[in-house]
Structures are given as C-alpha cells and as structure tokens.
A and B are shown apart, each in its own frame.
Chain A
Amino acid sequence: MFKYILRKLLALIPKLLVMSVILFFALELLPGDALSRTMPPDQYQALSEAQKVAAREALGLNAPPVIRYFRWLNQIFHGDFGYSASTGQNIGTMLAGRLPYTIELSFYGLLLATAVGLLLGFLSAVMKNTIVDYFCTTISVFGISLPEFFFGIVFIILFSVQLKWLPSGGRMPVGAHGFFSRVPYLVLPVMTMAISLTAALVRYTKNSMMDVMGKDYIKTARSKGLRETTVSFKHAFRNSLIPTMTLIVMRLPRLVGGSAVIEMVFNYPGIGNMALTAVNAGDIPVVMITTMTTGVMVLLSSTLVDIVTAMLDPRIRLG
C-alpha cells in the first residue's frame, strides 16, 4: 500500500511540471509588458521609460526563457503569482483569499452528492421496479437535463424569497465570523452544486449494483444462506463502489468548474466568481492562474481518490 501511494505521488511531479511550463509560456505569449505583471499597476504607471528598462534588467526579464522559467517557478513556490492588471492586487493574495471558499463549497457539494447519490442508487437497485426505483430514476433524469443555475434560481425563489428561510447569496453576514454563521449561506449553493453529480451517481451506482448482483459470487453468498441485506450490503454494494469512484474522479473538474456558475447565481465570493470578474475586465493572467490552480486542485484530489479506491480494491494496488 505504501509503495502504491508513493508511486501515485511521484507520478504527480511530471504532471505538475508540464502544467507549470504551459502556464509560464502562455503568460509569456500574452501581449503586453512582462514587467507590468511583476508589480502593482499604479507603481508600473509611475515608472519612466529609462526606469522600466533598468527594472527589466534588475529583475532579469531579459534573461533566456529557461532561466526565467526556473526563477518564476521559485516565485510560484513562494506564492508570488504577480499582480492583477485590473485590481492591482497580488494574484497570490487574491487566490489565497478566495480558494478556501471554493474548496469549502465543492467539498460539501461532493460530500452531499456522494451520500445522497450512493443511497438512492443503492435503493433503486435493491428495490428495482418499485415506486422507489421509479422515483429515484425520475429525479436523476431531471437532474442531468436541466442547467445547474436553473436549480439555483428555483432554490432562491423558493427558500429565500418565498419562505425566507435562507439568505439568497453572499458568504456570511457583515462582521460575523465562524463556521456557524456561514452555514445558512452554504446550504443553497451546496444543494445546487450537488444536484447534477447526485443525478449521475444514482444512475451509475444503480447500473453498477445490478452488474454486481448478477455475478456468481452473489449467488454463492445467497446459497450459503446469508441474509439478503448482508448480501446486498457487504458483497454487492462494496464491489459496486469501484466504478462509482471512477465517476467521481472524472467529475471533479466539473464540480470545481461548475462552481463558477453557481458562485455567480449565489454571489458567492469564490475563485469562479473571481475568474468571471477577471474575464470581464480582460485580465487574462488572473484567469489563467485561476484555471491552473483549479487544475492542480483536481489533480491532487483525484490522486487522493485513487488512493482511497486502492484501499477498497486490492486488485488495483497489486495490479
């Protein structure tokens, strides 16, 4: 198991390096002065031409790209991503402020979707062709057929405008802090975010369960006289989880990326909202770095899921 984890972690390094190379050269290719991205815009404006030339020399911006790449990589490791042209803030600081919000949203969304999706999928496989099955299938069909923001709008109208139970957007009341003041603000976005993944998971878990239920070892378990609940829980469900884990890994990017739309609907100050503001302001470096950051997040979390899957299935870590 240890060897497997080590191998997975080592495989991350080349991927991360390739991503950093792509990001570096994509930033290089952008129009505009590279110097302008190393300092706040007002400071850049204040420089004279001669000062700019000197600053470029001092910062080593005239050095060959390879050397600049390694210098830049070093800066990245220290959290220095340069400055945003539109807000004048350090991009690293902007990300550090927003990223936890998005991670929080995506994490709870994933948690809720996995719990509900697995439960409903399990129920509709065990109670095939009953009203429970039809109910779950109908929910999952609608969940994948409507845009996510539609559910967001409906939730706001229902829970926040009509019933006045929950706030329609934002992150927490002004001046408040702590987890419990955030909870009401998280409920609706998390629910919205979980819908499409839940819908996909119900379908997937059901199919995967049905597959497993037809296997010989299930017949063996039944003929041993085990109770049906033991068979479906211990023998079928656990084995049906493996393809489901793959689905979750494949959906991770959509979960993080999909949050851009949900963050906008609920005016939630995460990185999706930040990227949207940046695109509208024509601030491409911010969007690039945000995209890369989410890519890294997805890469790390999918490695984590791989490791968890290997714990569930000895065939993977040995094979």
Chain B
Amino acid sequence: MTIRKKTRNTSLAKRSWQKFIQNRMAILGLIGLVLIIAACLAAPLLTNYDPTLIDPSIRGLSPSREHLLGTDRLGRDIFARILYGGRWSIMIGVIAAMGANLLGAALGCIAGYYGGKVDSVLVSIQEMLSIFPGTLINMLCIGFMGKSVRNLLLIFTFTGWPGVMRIVRGRILSLKQEPYVESCRANGIGGMSIMFHHLLPNTLGPIIVNSTMNVAGYILSEAALSYLGLGVPDNVPTWGNIINAAKRLDIVQTLPMLWLAPAAAICLFVLSINFFGDGLRDALDPSSK
C-alpha cells in the first residue's frame, strides 16, 4: 500500500513538474523570483551602504557611480534601501500569506467536514469579513494596535483567511463524498485525522497556488499601507516605505528614483510571482488538464 502510494505520488509530482517546466512564462517567473530574492539576501555583497544611515552631506543626489540610484532626502543610498527593503517586503508577504493560508485552510477543513452549524457560523463570519474593504479594516486595526511589523503580520493573517477558506471548504465538500473517506470512517479513523491527513493533502494544490498569489497581494497591500504612512514603522525599509518618502509633488519630480525604483522592484517581483503562480496552477490543478 505504502509503495503504491509512493510511486503514484512521484509520478504525479513528475508529471506536474514536467508540465511546469514546459511553461515558458512560469520558468521566467521562477528565475525572476530567484534573482530578486538572491539579490536581497546578498545585499551586503552588492552594496557597501547602510540602508538606514542618515548622512546629511549627501542629501538628494542623482544617480551616479557611487550611488547607483542616488540618495533620498536624508542622504540614504536608495539602491541599498531597495535591496534591504526587499528583504522586509518579501518576508512580510511570505509570512502573511503563510499565516492567512494556514488559518484559512484549517477553518475551511473544519467547515467543510463538519458542515451544519459549525459550517454556517464560519461561512457567515467569512462573508462578513469579506464585505469590508481591506484597506479600511487594515487602517482601523493599525489605529488600534499601533504600527509594527508584528502587528501588520497579525492583521494580514486575521483579515486574509476568507479567500482560501472558501476554496478549501468547497473542495472538502466534494471530497468528503468520496468512498475512501467512508472507508476511513468505517475503519474507525477520527475526524481530525480524516480532515488533516486524508482530506487536506488533496486540497494542497489550490492552497499552494493561492498562497503564492497572496504573497504578491500582501506585498502590494503593505506598499499601499506604508504609502499611507500606516504600514511598518519608518525605520524599517520596505519597498512601500521607500515610496512613502516621495509623497510631496516637488519630491516626486526632483527625485524620480525615490519612487520609480521601488515601484519597479515591486512590479518585477509581483510579475514574477504571478507568472510563477499561473504556471503552478496549470501544473497542479487537475481541472485545467
């Protein structure tokens, strides 16, 4: 039994992988992701400047050999800030996506499997939560909890689960009609084990795709909130926070790199994620075969 399961798994994984590598855009996305993440991780090798060091003597420089993208109004090197900021932005996106998807998947499992009252309560909460505009809810929570990276991650997790919960619940609802679930029950396997060992793995494909796309969504949300001045604290460089410095119209014109460069970074990363996620969807989703 275990051997058969294993061979079946590898062949499915292999098939998915082959499908994935045939997709040129997906590979392009993957390469983009790897390059951007590597550049952010290797920031100390690529630049000698400290992203938070304020140096009034070099305020507002245009791009030059020393400062590839120039400096901002406090004399911080923009190139260094983009690289180090990428670490924060990507980390926030990844952790928030993981948190929201774990919570959503667990709740979706419970709602779909138990059905009845539990289901209707969870679904109503989900419906309620998705009525409110994300930006306003995030603003409200930040107003309550204060600005910090940890708070931002908590808020993204607790407001972000409805999407994936809907997906997982739908899958579980149809999966639980399968004969193998009945056979599990007949063998005396508990509800928890059926849900998380036997049902959840079968919804993994959509969850992975959704998490990938969510990383992009959270990076954009963080950028929007930080642009409003309600994201992460000012001393944390993120792509959104760098653009926040370019709010006034005169700065927008005199220091174009201050907003063009982080916007380009966001765009490249989100594009890569979207291409990569589309490829994953085509490879993992059985319905798209």
Contact = CB atoms under 8 A, between A and B. Distances in A.
B47 to A, nearest CB: 24
B186 interface: no
Interface residues of A: mostly helix, strand, loop or mixed? Answer: helix
Contact of B140 (A142, A284, A302): A284
Contacts of B227: 147, 149, 261, 264
B128 A257 contact: no
Interface string B103-138: 000000000000000000000100110111111110
A275 interface: yes
Contacts of B224: 147-149, 258, 261
B135 A287 contact: no
A278 B144 CA distance: 12
A294 B128 contact: no
A256 B133 contact: yes
B142 interface: yes
Interface string B50-92: 0000000000000000000000000000000000000000000
B170 interface: no
Contact of A150 (B142, B228, B263): B263
Nearest to B225: A261
Contacts of A148: 224
A291 B263 contact: no
A15 B131 CA distance: 10
A253 interface: yes
A156 B131 CA distance: 31
A298 B228 contact: no
B228 A295 contact: no
A294 B136 contact: yes
Interface string A233-276: 00000000000000000100110111011001000000010011
B249 A253 contact: no
Interface in B178-197: none
A15 B129 CA distance: 11
Interface string B212-255: 00001000100110011110000000001001001001001100
B157 interface: no
Interface string B250-277: 0011000001000100110011001000
B139 A157 contact: no
Contacts of B271: 141-142, 145
A291 B227 CA distance: 19
A279 B133 contact: no
Contacts of A287: 136, 139-140, 143
A17 B139 CA distance: 24
Interface in A1-39: 15, 18-19, 22
Given A145-B271, A275-B136, A284-B140, A157 B128 contact: no
Report the interface size class on chain B. 35 or more
Interface in B138-163: 139-140, 142-144
Interface string A121-160: 0000000000000000000011011111110010011000
A299 B132 CA distance: 9
B252 A290 contact: no
A106 to B, nearest CB: 10
Nearest to B124: A18
B230 A298 contact: no
B139 A147 contact: no
Contact of A260 (B127, B135, B220, B249): B135
Nearest to A250: B130
A282 interface: yes
B266 A146 contact: yes
Contact of A18 (B128, B134, B142, B230): B128
30 contacts: A15-B127, A15-B128, A144-B274, A146-B263, A147-B263, A148-B224, A149-B227, A149-B243, A150-B243, A150-B267, A153-B246, A157-B252, A157-B253, A253-B134, A257-B132, A257-B133, A258-B133, A258-B135, A258-B224, A260-B136, A260-B139, A264-B228, A275-B140, A276-B228, A276-B230, A284-B144, A291-B132, A291-B140, A298-B132, A302-B131
Given A15-B128, A260-B136, A291-B133, 7 more contacts: A147-B223, A147-B266, A150-B243, A272-B135, A276-B230, A284-B140, A284-B144
A-B interface, 5 closest residue pairs, ranked by CB to CB distance from nearest: A257-B133, A257-B135, A279-B143, A145-B270, A253-B133
